[in-house]
Structure formats: C-alpha cells, structure tokens
Amino acid sequence: MSTSQTGSTDSTGGSGRGEGAGPAAEDAELLEIALEAARRAGALLRDGRPADLGVAATKTSPIDVVTEMDIAAEKLITSYIGRLRPDDGFLGEEGASSEGTSGVRWVIDPLDGTVNYLYGLPSWAVSIAAERDGVTVAGVVEAPMRGETYQAVLGGGAFVNGRPAHCRPAPDFSHALVATGFGYLAERRAAQAEVVRVVLPKVRDIRRAGSAAIDLADIGCGRLDAYYERGLNPWDLAAGALFAREAGVLTGGRPGQPASGELVVAAPPGLFEPLQELLDGLGAWHD
C-alpha cells in the first residue's frame, strides 16, 4: 500500500477511553483537548512576547527569551493534557518524552517558527497532534497572529476556524506555487539551495514562510500548491500533515516511503507525483 495518504483514510486502531466508547469518540475527545491546549499556549506566547524582543532591549538575549517562552508553552500543554489523560505519552520539541500506557501519544511543537516569533513576523504556530498506536488521529495548528485554528480528525475532514478546508486542484507543474524551508546548518542550506536552483525555473514561484506547520496548513486551505522540505522532526509535521491530508493533499517522502526527516513532500494528486520524482532525482533527501 502506498505510504502517501489522503483525507479519506478511515480511523483504525486503539480502544476508546470509557466503557462503550470507540476510536471515533475518543478521537473527537482528543481533538477537543488539543484545541484547548493549543489555544492556551497560543495566548501565552502571543501575550507574553515582549514588544521590544527583536531589538534586544532586555537584560537577557532575545534568543533566551524565546527559549523561555518555548519551554513555558510546552510545559503548559503537557500539564493540561496530563491532568486530563495521565496515562498518555508525550513527544515534544523542548524535551517532553514519555511512553505512556494508553496507546496514545501527544506530539507537540509549542512554537513552530521561532525565528519568525523572534522577529515579530506573524507566521508562527502551536502544533499539537495525537497519535494512537503510531497513527496520527487528531491534530491542531493554532496560529494566533493569523487568528486561525486548523484542525482535523482522521477520516473527519479538515477545518479552519470551523469552516471546511480543501486543497486546490493540481495545476500544471509550471504554474505550481511551491513552499519550502531550509535547515540551520550551512552545509545543509547549501545543498538545499542547489535543489531550489533547479526547481525554481520549473514552477510558478517559491515561498519560504518559516513554519512547516503553517505551510502544510496553507496547502490544505488552497493557499499553496505544494510543499517540500528536508530535516523536519515529527513535531514539525504531525498535526499539519494530518490537516493537509484531510483536505485532500498527498504526503510522503522519497517514492514509496512516508514523510520523514529525510524528506517531506506534500501536494494534491497529479502534482505530488512529478514533484516527488523531481526532488528524489535531485537528491533533496540528502545533504
């Protein structure tokens, strides 16, 4: 079976939390918990950011302040979820890690787009996904400065601020608006620049927003045609990729492989395949 997935995939695996509750009922509960946790963390980050952060007018460096906010947001999320579901596991960017015993694990990026946050750019988000037995079943991307919440449950469609979201139909390759991102290491950035050098003349244009979660959400909302990146972590893409798939997008890595740190490709059917083939041939999956 292909590792690329669409929003039509049915929810499978796991058992409900309460007598008589099935996976679908639990998925809805997980989504509600993720929505509230993301809302609280987003408000903390939005309201707690010093207005002068980008110009280093604090006693500590701006990066220290961002790190403190990042850690505080993750602690808020894990504490809130842990009170409601003490048997669940966690995987978070800022170090939250526990196996749990329920079969459910929360994959958390408390602040996706930290450089944007540092500079006062609006494209940053809180990303929270719930996995059951390794399958992402619920996801939320909260973008406070956009005033938008992207949410999805496996098999239940994608929604932005409560409205159904759908990706664009695949355009001709030459008309595709493609987003990407770059790593922090100089050697990786140099390799990624070579890939962009070849891709750019073949498509409409390239966008670089600085938040993988928002890029994936934007594909699902029809604001981008495609997205690819090397070097993502599970917390960068778990919630956004579910949202995109539920909006009709295909996601994957190299041909026949799932999206991973090696390579993430996301696009609607008809554009996904040629983009994936091009990126694989260019070696976008290695430095």
The answer to whether 133 touches 232, Cβ cutoff 8 Å, is: no
User: What gap in Å lies between CA 166 and CA 149, rounded to an integer?
Assistant: 15
Q: Which CATH superfamily is domain 23-164 in?
A: Fructose-1,6-Bisphosphatase, subunit A, domain 1 (3.30.540.10)
- pLDDT value at position 6? 37
- pLDDT value at position 65? 81
What is the chain's alpha carbon radius of gyration, rounded to the nearest angstrom? 18
Distances (CA, A) of 129 to 42, 56, 110, 172, 278: 15, 33, 11, 32, 30
- pLDDT value at position 88? 98
- Tell me, which fold does domain 173-281 have in CATH? D-Maltodextrin-Binding Protein; domain 2 (3.40.190)
Q: Domain limits of the chain?
A: 23-164, 173-281
Read off the tokens for 284: 């976008």
User: What pLDDT tens digit does each residue of the chain (287 aa) get?
Assistant: 333 343 333 333 333 344 445 778 999 999 999 999 999 999 999 999 988 776 544 445 777 889 999 999 999 999 999 999 999 999 999 888 899 999 999 999 999 999 999 999 999 999 999 999 999 999 999 999 999 999 999 999 999 999 999 999 999 999 999 999 999 999 999 999 999 999 999 999 999 999 999 999 999 999 999 999 999 999 999 999 999 999 999 999 999 999 999 999 999 999 999 999 999 999 999 99
User: What gap in Å lies between CA 197 and CA 178, rounded to an integer?
Assistant: 13
Would the pTM of this model clear 0.85, i.e. be above it? yes
Amino acid of residue 215: D
